[in-house]
């Protein structure tokens, strides 16, 4: 198991290193002077020169890359040209909210997607299967931005069932201030027992999380269905049938566990995708996550910030894959030998 | 089911780690003092009653990136203009500076010496007393920092605190210092010993101070009334202000309709039309000081020929564009927008395709002649500029002119422009302080290394006239108006270095119970919350 882990970790590190170099190259090769983001759109030549000197933008590319990597290894992600704050601090403020949104969405996706997949596999080619397939197809293909606007208009603006936007009612910052530990509001509210903020956050989370969950739910349901149908045609399923187990029992007790392997890998893939996909949802629901930070950074060509966001998403992607690989090792011992 | 157990163990371990970290200490979010934003929907305070509602502004961008009043040069102008004050404030109706921290001022020696009488009984948020020495220190610090728009003080040679309430400026060359002191950036007077770059406290004299600042959060900033404000407080004024960052226009509109926010900077044309007929919302429109400049390369390429430039000016469908903008822009007259000294009426351009074709033919281009290929750069993501480019491109194609338009990020577009890399450069221009001089000095004065002179115009006669403008504005405003008009005729008609298709118009939407709102084009997107009251 340890060798398996070490191999996976080594591969993950290679991917991250690749992303760092690529991100750096891209951000330095795009046309435009990043110093403008720092010095302002009407900066004087002196102000631009000072900004370039401060951020080493006049150094040769390889030297800049070396400095960037050296600083990264020392935990320094650079300074945002726009916010003038360390990128790591900015990300620390923005990322937890994205994590909260995407985490909730994935929870919804797993809780809904797997049972729906089981249901479709159990009633293959019958009405429930048809319903799940059409539903998941729709969930996967509807543009996320449109879905966000539609749900917001119907359920928040017209029906008033949910808040229009925001993470929680900010008036609560005064009446029941939240003590921060993880910076993830819902987790902090839970561990400190801050029920008003917890309920308000959950209330605000429903619509955006449902929108972000649409795509993963659809894919997970389809994948679970396909994997289960394949498993239920295996030899062990025939034996189980011969032993008198019912179809539902075969699917949930015997076929589900080996079928979960590909579904788990899929969740890792979908997780990183959902973070970036969530940027649009965050914009519609004023969610204070990475989306706003990324959008404003791109608009002002704030290269250290863009690189920071890219690196963070890549890290999440790699980490999620690593976690899934480890989980797969537990779920399916065959994976460890692959 | 061993793996189930392992997962359970891992989960419990994770939870324990989380709890353990929880015991290590934490900070309280939004640790301010006074109440956070409430919607203005509840309660019904009448004019004379206390207004305990929070005024909520919904910007579509970060609220503050630089807290230092010396270097701040970005969106934070909206918040900081309510925290800091300058010696004067511009009034676009009278086209003059009006008293703020200075109550009166005089200029002498042909605009090279200015004396400001300062307001008495003003205190900074820090508790320090505002006087001439404090004002002198603030301006000197801003100058030394050389950040943002600090260059506005370049004409100043020496500042003297004659006595506690008299501030005297000696200038290197004549300049309208009363207008410079009204600048939206870099002209704020602050307590130099109390400046805090982290935004925990403020050092101004304005009506509001910071309550909470939570970078990156939805309600990023809240302000509270400064009790000792020199102007005093009336019950119906807003004592609390919140900035709720709302990147999406549709979301802002829904929040406004529900009464959760009070002010939206700009809606799209469809929503603005809807806002005009919505009962709980009212709208306000006014021209800005920002106009679109279409700069033709006078130094190289086919646009070097003045006839080509004149043809391009005439090919722009000015009326069609203004109509397509649906109120977000109005036809310009000259280079200087209405509301500034130097605005020239009667200079509205008109499309004339026959004349354009004739001019092109004279230059050797046209439907039956050589094809003319032109490169144009404009701001990416700007729908209004895109509209201009689309209209112009389709008109020019009929004249056998191919427009290769490239949308670009500002820094890339500017970089290319500084190298003279295009035939046509499209950009907005706005003055840092309310003076038309900004257009002429920055955009049309000869430069060996062009910064904003992206038409690359080099004309000694025009340069000499530009150099005379500050002194004229400082000493004889009527003569300045005449000189500005002559210069605009030279630059637009004779040289055809630029076309000015439209001036942007502000289209605001605000809740109908807000009274006293007035746009001031000298301070883009700023709402002076102190001037507002809440109707019963």
Query: What pLDDT is recorded for position B32?
Result: 45
- Of the candidate ranges A68-72, A239-243, B272-276, the one whose mean pLDDT is the lowest: A239-243
Q: Is residue A330 part of a domain?
A: no
Asked whether residue B438 carries a pLDDT value surpassing 60, the answer given is yes
CB A288 within 8 A of CB B217: yes
Give counts: helices (H), strands (E), chain A: 16, 1
pLDDT value of position B45:
39
Does residue A11 fall inside a structural domain?
A: no
Question: Cα-flanking dihedrals φ and ψ of residue B56, to 5°?
Answer: -110, 120
Residue-wise pLDDT tens digits, A102-130: 999 999 999 998 889 888 887 888 888 88
Indicate if the pLDDT at residue A327 is higher than 80.
no
Nearest-Cα distance to chain A for B65, in Å, is 5
Strand partners for B244: B219
Report whether pLDDT(B400) > 90: yes
In a domain, A197, yes or no: yes
Map tokens 């010696």 to a residue.
B87
| A207-211, A264-268, B111-115: least confidently modelled range | A264-268
A158 CB near a chain B CB, below 8 Å?
no
SS3 A58: coil
Note the pLDDT tens digit of each residue in B11-68.
444 443 343 333 334 677 655 443 333 443 333 333 456 788 899 999 988 899 889 9
Q: Number of structural domains, chain A?
A: 1
Does B245 contact A295 at a Cβ distance shorter than 8 Å? no
Whole-number pLDDT of residue A263:
81
- Is A226 domain-assigned? yes
Helix (H, G, I), strand (E, B) or coil at A322: helix
Q: Which of A37, A83, A156 sits opposite B411 (nearest CB)?
A: A37
- Determine which of A127-131, B113-117, B374-378, B453-457 has the lowest per-residue pLDDT on average: A127-131
CB distance from A234 to chain B under 8 Å? no
Residue of A94, A166, A258, A331 for testing the chain B interface, max B β-carbons within 10 Å: A166
Average pLDDT, chain B: 88
pLDDT of residue B34: 38
Please judge whether A82 and B65 are an interchain contact, meaning their C-beta atoms are less than 8 angstroms apart: yes
Residue of A nearest to B146 (CA): A47
Contacts of A264 in chain B (CB under 8 A): none
Q: How far is Cα A49 from Cα A106, in angstroms, rounded to an integer?
A: 47
Chain centroid to CA A149: 20
Percent of chain A with pLDDT over 90: 20
Question: Looking at residue B24, what is its pLDDT?
Answer: 36
Give the tokens for residue A60: 């040769």
- The pLDDT, as a whole number, for residue B5 is 45
Contact call for residues A260 and A110 (beta carbons, < 8 A): no
Question: What percent of chain B has a predicted confidence (pLDDT) above 90?
Answer: 69
What pLDDT is attached to residue B46?
Answer: 38
List the single range of A14-18, A66-70, A326-330, B366-370 with lowest mean pLDDT.
A326-330
Dihedral over Cα of A123, A128, A130, A134: its sign: negative
- For residue A296, being part of any structural domain is answered with no
CA distance A180 to chain B (A): 5
pLDDT score recorded for residue A208: 95
Does the model's pTM come out above 0.90?
Answer: no
Residue A241 inside a domain? The answer is yes
* Digit-coded pLDDT (tens) for A187-226: 989 999 889 999 999 999 999 999 999 999 999 998 888 8
pLDDT at A230: 80
Determine the pLDDT at residue B49.
67
Residue B6 has its nearest CB partner, among A30, A177, A330, at A330
Q: Alpha carbon of A14 to those of A10, A21, A64, A275, B379: distances in Å?
A: 6, 11, 20, 22, 38
Among A14-28, B193-207, B243-257, B312-326, the minimum mean pLDDT is found in: A14-28
Which domains does chain B carry? 54-66+206-280+512-534 (3.40.190.10), 84-194 (3.90.76.10), 288-505 (3.10.105.10)
In a domain, A323, yes or no: no
Quote the percentage of chain A above a pLDDT of 70. Answer: 97
Of A47, A85, A288, the CB nearest to B218: A288
Give a yes or no: residue A18 inside a domain. no
Digit-coded pLDDT (tens) for B464-504: 999 989 888 888 888 999 999 999 999 999 999 999 999 99
From the CA of B163, how many Å to the nearest CA of chain A? 35
Q: Does the pLDDT at position B394 exceed 60? A: yes
**Residue A84 in contact with partner chain B when CB distance is under 8 A:** yes
Q: Which domain holds residue A125?
A: 101-291
| pLDDT per position as a tens digit, B331-350 | 999 999 998 989 998 999 99
Is residue A271 within 8 Å of residue A138, measured between CB atoms? no
- Of B240, B248, B279, B224, which Cα lies nearest the Cα of B38? B240
Q: How far is A219 from chain B (nearest CA, A)?
A: 24
Q: pLDDT tens digits, residue range B224-241?
A: 999 999 999 999 999 999
Where residue A260 sits, what CATH number does that domain have? 1.10.3720
pLDDT for A231 equals 77
Do residue A46 and residue B36 have CB atoms under 8 angstroms apart?
no
A180 contacts B22? CB cut-off 8 A: no
* Mean pLDDT across B288-312: 95
Output the pLDDT for position B255: 94
Contact A84 B29 (CB under 8 A): no
């Amino acid at each position: 198991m340890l060798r398996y882990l070490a191999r996976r970790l080594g591969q993950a590190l290679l991917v991250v290193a690749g992303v760092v170099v690529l991100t750096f190259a891209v951000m330095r090769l795009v046309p435009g002077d990043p110093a403008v983001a720092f010095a302002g759109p009407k900066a004087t030549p002196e102000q631009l020169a000072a900004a370039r000197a401060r951020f080493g933008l006049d150094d040769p590319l390889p030297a800049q890359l070396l400095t960037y990597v050296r600083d990264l290894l020392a935990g320094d992600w650079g300074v945002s040209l726009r916010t003038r704050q360390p990128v790591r601090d900015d990300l620390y403020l923005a990322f937890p909210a994205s994590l909260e949104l995407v985490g909730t969405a994935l929870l919804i996706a797993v809780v809904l997607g797997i049972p729906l997949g089981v249901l479709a596999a159990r009633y293959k080619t019958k009405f429930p299967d048809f319903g799940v397939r059409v539903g998941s197809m729709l969930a996967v293909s509807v543009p996320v931005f449109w879905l966000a606007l539609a749900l917001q208009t119907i359920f928040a603006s017209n029906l008033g069932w949910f808040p229009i936007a925001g993470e929680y009612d900010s008036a609560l910052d005064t009446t029941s201030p939240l003590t921060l530990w993880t910076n993830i509001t819902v987790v902090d509210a839970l561990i400190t027992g801050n029920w008003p903020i917890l309920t308000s956050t959950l209330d605000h989370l429903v619509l955006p999380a449902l929108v972000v969950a649409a795509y993963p739910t659809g894919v997970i349901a389809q994948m679970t269905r396909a994997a289960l149908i394949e498993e239920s045609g295996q030899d062990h399923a025939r034996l189980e049938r011969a032993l008198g187990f019912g179809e539902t029992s075969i699917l949930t007790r015997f076929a589900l566990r080996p079928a979960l392997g590909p579904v788990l890998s899929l969740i890792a893939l979908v997780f990183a995708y959902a973070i970036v996909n969530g940027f649009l949802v965050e914009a519609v629901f004023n969610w204070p996550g990475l989306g706003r930070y990324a959008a404003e950074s791109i608009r002002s060509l704030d290269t250290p910030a863009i690189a920071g966001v890219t690196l963070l998403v890549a890290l999440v992607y790699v980490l999620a894959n690593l976690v899934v690989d480890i989980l797969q090792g537990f779920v399916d011992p065959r994976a460890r030998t692959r | 089911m061993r793996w189930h157990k392992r997962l359970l163990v891992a989960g419990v371990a994770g939870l324990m780690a989380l709890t353990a970290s929880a015991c290590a200490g934490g900070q309280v979010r939004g640790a301010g003092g006074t109440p956070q934003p409430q919607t203005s929907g509840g309660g019904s305070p009448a004019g004379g009653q206390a207004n305990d509602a929070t005024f909520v502004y919904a910007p579509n961008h970060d609220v503050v990136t630089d807290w230092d009043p010396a270097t701040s040069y970005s969106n934070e102008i909206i918040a900081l203009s309510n925290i800091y004050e300058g010696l004067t404030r511009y009034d676009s109706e009278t086209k003059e500076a009006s008293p703020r921290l200075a109550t009166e001022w005089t200029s002498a020696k042909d605009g090279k010496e200015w004396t400001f009488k300062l307001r008495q009984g003003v205190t900074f948020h820090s508790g320090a007393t505002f006087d001439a020495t404090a004002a002198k220190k603030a301006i000197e610090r801003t100058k030394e920092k050389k950040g943002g728009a600090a260059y506005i003080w370049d004409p100043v040679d020496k500042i003297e605190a004659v006595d506690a309430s008299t501030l005297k400026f000696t200038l290197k060359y004549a300049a309208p210092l009363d207008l410079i002191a009204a600048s939206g950036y870099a002209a704020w007077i602050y307590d130099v010993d109390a400046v805090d770059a982290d935004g925990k406290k403020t050092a101004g004299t304005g009506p509001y101070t910071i309550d909470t600042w939570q970078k990156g959060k939805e309600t990023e900033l809240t302000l509270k009334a400064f009790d000792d404000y020199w102007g005093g407080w009336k019950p119906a004024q807003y004592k609390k202000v919140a900035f709720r960052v709302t990147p999406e226009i549709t979301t802002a509109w829904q929040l406004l309709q529900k009464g959760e926010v009070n002010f939206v900077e700009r809606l799209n044309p469809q929503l603005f039309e809807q806002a005009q007929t919505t009962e709980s919302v009212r709208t306000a429109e006014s021209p800005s000081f920002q106009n679109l400049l279409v700069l033709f390369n006078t130094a190289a390429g086919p646009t070097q020929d003045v006839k080509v430039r004149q043809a391009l000016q005439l090919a722009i469908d000015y009326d069609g564009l203004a109509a397509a903008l649906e109120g977000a822009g109005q036809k310009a007259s000259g280079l200087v927008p209405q509301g500034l000294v130097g605005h020239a009426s009667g200079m509205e351009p008109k499309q004339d395709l026959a004349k354009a074709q004739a001019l092109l033919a004279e230059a050797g281009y046209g439907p039956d002649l050589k094809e003319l290929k032109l490169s144009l750069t404009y701001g990416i993501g700007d729908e209004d500029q895109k509209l201009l480019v689309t209209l112009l491109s389709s008109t020019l194609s009929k004249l056998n002119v191919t427009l290769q338009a490239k949308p670009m990020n500002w820094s890339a577009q500017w970089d290319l422009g500084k190298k003279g890399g295009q035939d046509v450069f499209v950009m907005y221009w706005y003055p840092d302080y309310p003076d038309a001089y900004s257009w002429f000095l920055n955009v049309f004065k000869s430069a060996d290394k062009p910064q904003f002179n992206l038409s690359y115009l080099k004309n000694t006669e025009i340069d000499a006239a530009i150099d005379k403008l500050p002194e004229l504005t400082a000493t004889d405003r009527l003569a300045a108006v005449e000189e500005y008009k002559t210069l605009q005729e030279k630059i637009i008609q004779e040289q055809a270095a630029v076309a000015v298709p439209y001036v942007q118009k502000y289209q605001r939407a605000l809740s109908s119970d807000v009274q006293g709102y007035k746009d001031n084009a000298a301070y883009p997107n700023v709402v002076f919350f102190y001037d507002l009251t809440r109707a019963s």
